[in-house]
A and B are shown apart, each in its own frame.
Chain A
Amino acid sequence: MTAKKATAPRFWIALAVPGMIWLLVLFIVPVYAVLAIAMGKLDQMLEAPVAVWSPLDWSSSNVIDVWRDIFGSASFAGPILARTIAYTAIAALVCLLIGYPCAYFVARFAGRRKGLFLVLLIAPFWISYMMRMLAWIDLLATGGYVNKALGWLGIGPVNWLGGHSVTVVFGLVYGYIPYLIMVLFAGLDRIDGSLLEAGRDLGLGRVRTFIHVTLPLSRQPILTGLLITVLPMLGDYYTNQMLSGAAHTSMIGNLIQGQLGTPGLEGQGAVLSLLLLLVLLIPMVYYVIATNREAASR
């Protein structure tokens, strides 16, 4: 009996080993490699970064340079950070405004066609992100279908691809909204219908039932959905590159990509990548705290 008790925890720990190996090989080691480049040196002759693996030999020059880039008197990355946060916040809000009613409809009113709607929501994932963005280039072109449709209303043509913030935000919304809808749907679908009925029985109208019952119960799915969409948006560079390409719409992902592709600046790019990772940890930590708090309150 005692031996059986001792075996059980080992068995469950053993189940976690593949996941831990996965985490070690594909996350911990690569992040440490980036850290070794960020805190490393520069081969001046070859203009190539030299990874320094021992923390005892680390150099802080890349960190100091990036700090000055962001916060120094000659700050140049600060405006890009502000622009990235603004684009991401607007795109996330638009995603929520469009995604919530959509998820609500599928969860509450789709009935037997729920499966069909879910397939339609997942359908964009069957095509690669790059292909979808390339398709939008054709759709938004001066002679594209979007301008043709606007032409029927007597509007345009609009030069959508002329380097506009609105096009970048639109691209972000389009690219990431399915993630939000799926998470919201999963959360809304799990709301116990009897709670809504109880609200109605107690005299609440449709709107007040939604405000006082459905909305509070969907707070956690909203938080999860926003987290899942905001994190990749913050590091996105491809949407901007494809739909704008203008310097005035550059985001932090573009800056990192530019630095990693420039001989001699890879170290600073590595520092910026790690800083972005640290910033992304903040909403992750908040999410974990909020989830635990909610679980404790039940």
Chain B
Amino acid sequence: MAHPREGWRGHGVPRVRSAEGSGALHASPPAGAGRRAFLTGSAALAAAGLLAGCASDIAGTGTLPLPRPRHPVTWPAFAGNAAIKPGRSPEQHATLQVYTWEAYINQDVVNAFAKKFKCKVQITTFNTMNEALSKLRSGLSYDVLVGATVDVLGQLIEGKLVQPLNHGYLPNIANAWPDFINPFYDQGWQYTVPYTIYTTGLTWRKDKVHENPSAMASPWAMPWQPKYRGRVAILDDYREGISLGLLKNGVHDLNTTDYRQIGAARKALEDLTGMVNLKISSTEYTQVPAGETWISTAWSGDMAAAASYMPKGVDVSVVGYWFPADGRGPVANDTNVILSSATSPVLAHEFLNFFLDLDNVLNNISWNGYMQPLTGVTPKVLIDQQILPPSLTSTVVTPAYFRRGVSELQLPVDADALWQQAWLVVSNGI
């Protein structure tokens, strides 16, 4: 009889604490005053619902491994969810259903794919990964998920929402950086191919703010300046938000499960809120070029496209983007996967392969700004092809960043609850 763990070869770090405790995690504060102190901190934190949940309120059992660079994961193969057989032809006159983030794929490239394979491509968008997961779990059927984040791969794979890849249909993987041919989050790239890569850094208007983070002793503390009150923003994302607090405090473990570090990061952000009347928004890639916001955290891919948002008569060179020169900053990548509900799986493989072709990738980057990890995508190529302005070369992601950088990866459930609760307090101005 088949078993859900049939073929399981994974290791990694368990996502859910066992009854005995894993020993490696220290998300929950020590019993008694410690935990209370975290919950009631200076601004009074909500009782952590997830932490408080008793056993009868929890449905489902089992664990998901937590991929880490030092604990790579080989995902299992499940009976009844095998990769497609080799040698098949793409489905004829089919409509490929693509599910992706809003504004995350160049329609011109999609149209070129449709023309080449004589098919139709229907794109449906989502706004959050949580929304996408909910809809996929509810049974909505698509062929390809473009932009799956690394932190939800466990849920997608263990939930049997994605199918294993047949590598024979994906020869263009040879164009990708070697790091992504055997990534720690999916050893042997059984289920994923890389899509976009990006860093999280600081963006600022050079004509309004005269400090340069490169010259500052503590660049991540740049937003903590009361003279820029009303002009400072951070990304509206609980991981990015709390991570900024951690980095400002000198903590580079962006997957920390230490309640003291998370509490200190929350406190730093609360201070920032009071100091500058902090704006929490994910549209600062338009507001910084517009001059409404002067300092903000931002994703490199958004800022690479800053030229598109500049007001008339203002040169893009007034927009700066900083990421640590030594690469020790938040770096991430998204992936493309084929859903197990795919009705055109061969075409879906061809689609993934199409988006690993250099010309198509450059065309895609020229529209959405987000780099893809192909060896042919270099700063020189991006500047020569006028995809990237020379003043924003700092938005370019290099392979070294994925070796020295720090990634925000999936957290154990109880630590995730601490992060979320800390962010709820910060983002609601309590």
**Which residues of A are at the interface with B, using a C-beta cutoff of 8 A?**
41-48, 50, 59, 61-62, 64-65, 68-69, 72-77, 79-80, 141-143, 159, 161-164, 241, 244-250, 254-255, 258-259, 261-265, 267-268
List A contacts of B230 (CB < 8 A): 159, 162-164
Of the 9-residue stretches B24-32, B48-56, B344-352, which lies at the interface with chain A?
B48-56
A258 to B54, CA, bound (A): 23
**Contact status of A248 and B46, CB under 8 A, knowing A42-B53, A161-B292, A262-B130:** no
B221 within 8 Å of A (CB atoms): no
Closest to B127 in A: A261
> Counting CB contacts under 8 A, is B43 at the interface?
yes
Q: Chain B interface residue count: which class?
A: 35 or more
Min distance, Cβ A195 to any Cβ of chain B, angstroms: 50
Residues on B with C-beta less than 8 A from A65 are 46-47, 49, 52
Which residues of A lie under 8 Å from residue B18 when comparing CB positions?
Answer: none
Are the CB atoms of B429 and A48 closer together than 8 Å? no
Q: A46-B159, A59-B57, A143-B291 are in contact. Are A76 and B430 (CB under 8 A)?
A: yes
- Whether the pair B58, A74 counts as a contact (CB closer than 8 A) is no
**Assuming A47-B416, A247-B280, A248-B277, is B59 touching A41 (CB within 8 A)?**
yes
Contact B278 A259 (CB under 8 A): no
A246 CA to B272 CA in the complex, in Å? 11
Q: In the complex, A26 Cα to B185 Cα: how many Å? A: 42
Chain B residues 48 to 90 lying within 8 A of chain A, measured CB to CB, are 49-50, 52-54, 56-64
Residues of A within 8 A of B158 (CB): 45
Excluding A44-B53, A61-B49, A76-B44, 12 further A-B contacts by CB distance (< 8 Å) are: A44-B60, A47-B413, A48-B134, A65-B47, A74-B44, A76-B43, A76-B430, A245-B280, A261-B130, A262-B130, A262-B420, A263-B416
Q: Are A247 and B44 in contact (CB under 8 A)?
A: no
14 A–B contacts from the bound complex (CB under 8 Å): A44-B61, A45-B16, A46-B133, A46-B155, A47-B416, A68-B47, A73-B40, A245-B233, A246-B278, A246-B279, A247-B273, A259-B424, A263-B420, A264-B420
A42, B49: Cα distance in complex, Å: 10
* B16 surroundings in chain A (CB, below 8 A): 44-45
Asked if A42 meets B291 with Cβ closer than 8 Å, knowing A65-B49, A246-B279, the reply is no
Tell me whether A247 and B429 are in contact in the complex, defined as CB-CB below 8 angstroms, given that A45-B64, A142-B291 are known contacts. yes
Of A42, A74, A80, A163, which is within 8 A of B47 by CB? A74
